[in-house]
Structure 1
Amino acid sequence: MPSRRALLASLGMMPAAARAQPTPWPIRPVRVIIPFAPGGSSDIAARLMAPRVAALLGQNLVIENRGGGGGNIAGEAVLRAGADGYTLLQGNMGLMAVNPSLFPVMPFDPLADFAPVSHIVSVANMLVVPVGRPWTDLAGLLGALRAQPETLRAGTSGNGSIGHLAQLLLDQMAGTRSVSVPYRGGGPMVNDLLAGHLDYGFATLPTILGGIEGGLLRPIAIGTATRSPLFPQVPTVAEAGLPGFEVANWDSWLFPGGTPRPIVERMAAVLREVLAEPAIIAEFARRGLEAQSSSPEVLHAAIRTETLRWGPLVRASGATPG
């Protein structure tokens, strides 16, 4: 039988033990801030996932679009929200790995100031032109770019975006000079492509499917290493005349740095489960998206790798945030 002293000691420890119990999470809705306007691939992916993520968390998932500043405005908003596990950033490769080379002064360090959770999606970019333009293949477009340097207008979803990187890489490898026209997201850019206000652009598949199927946009080539199952007849840029060309994008979810590790791990586990569901995989694929999950460590390494890859190209191009 325990002594009176031992019993009192154990009773005295109970409040401390109770305080040591983890706080339940989540007990209220969780926000995901997307750095781009509605209608782009980031927005589409988040909204497709949201109902299933919410069901597994047992709380609503609120999607909030906050464009501008190449995504930096959204990143700052997430950091200001605090590391309590109730605000996530949906950061794509441009925001997390390109902006540090594009902006002279960054409001945060993507590698140091965030707690990576997981990749969520990989998305291909297609080189398209309005049907009113005469070019039917990459050779024709490159011929026009060489004949009219600094004349043809290339739409991008923002400086430092994956479409912008693709345009810079195309100019570098082909020896051409185009005029980059940045927008606050892929949706607004594609609207101007459809209207014929731009000459060409690299756009994510979800944003241009309707335009291609409706006969308003003409696919020229795809920026990934392999052809798209949705458009097997469209060659890769490498196949069409620029060997070695490859540009692919990804989106990820990140908490502010300092978020408790159990919260990060639970959200990562939820994302792994959701992104492995056949219905989600099929719904993503139908829109030209590839469901992709990863560990926090793999995402952190990917951000570092892509930063090293794209930094020299961005700096050499002289591209600016404006």
Structure 2
Amino acid sequence: MGDTVEAGESTSGRKTTYLRGKDEDADHLFLGNEFFHVLSGVGPSEPSGDHDAIHGTALNGGAGVTGVGGASRGYGMLGRGGPMKQVGQTPPTTNSPELLPGAGVQARGGDFSVDVGNADSNSSRGGHGPGVIAVAGGVIAPDKQWRPAPEFASNVGVFGLGGNKVTQQTEVTGATIPLGPDFAGAGVVGLGGRSLAADVGEEPSPDRGPGGPGVVGIAGGIGAPDRDEQVGVGVLGWADTAVGVKGRSFGDAGVSGHSVKGTGSIFSSDERAPSQLRPHKNLLITNPNGAVDGNPGDLIVTRFEQQHRLWFCTLPNVWKLVQFV
């Protein structure tokens, strides 16, 4: 059926190989925390250089590594970065990436293959594969691979798909039981770190100031924002010559801001006007009354004879021209 497994040699077989941890009986229980553990030699037998502990290469559309968590909320995959290896007794003072502790997980998408000898091989200008596809439970069958449409996940670092809200119900012993979540989940959630005097176990000390940002979005080609720009911010958009944050909706507000005790929005600029209202796209509308729906508090700019007018909505669909004297 297959070759004998021998260290340092290749082996093969035509059936799946299973390694099972088990208890022999009540007096001979399984010892250890892992069923299979790979590690390097120690001391003089430790190999020099960087080496992977396990390497998996799949065939065709298969996964390189598949992990399935245990029945009691076990993780399908758990990665923990290596600590910073300190040479000597003096800690490093530079911020060189080579001296940072290792990441828990690094994911890199597949490369879009181009035949440089064939001018038509990249006519579609396809993107590279995403680094991570994260899908909430219940969205797809647990034993199936799923790939999002290219317009969502091509050439991106991370793609997240939230879980669905489910209204399906079933009858069990005369009672109606819902079968799924009562809310639709987010594709990605970011939670910033806290500012603490000490971090001890699962009960850290009280907060000593604002924490870190939940999400930082940085446009390509520029450096990272200063730490002071990020303190206490839920979402930070950072750009150079383009828009920092952009919102668009087809049926409601493109961007919404709300505060309980502060102002709903703050705008400022070092060299230009803090905010801008662009004229209505329909240049034939010179008076919004009867032409544009509005709610009290709305502002709109129309164009009239090479000039622009500002209107304020005082009642539903009732606009008053703002006069400047």
TM range (shorter): under 0.3
Greater relative contact order structure (CA < 8 Å, 6+ sep)? 1
Structure with the larger helix share:
1
TM-score normalised over the length of structure 2: 0.19
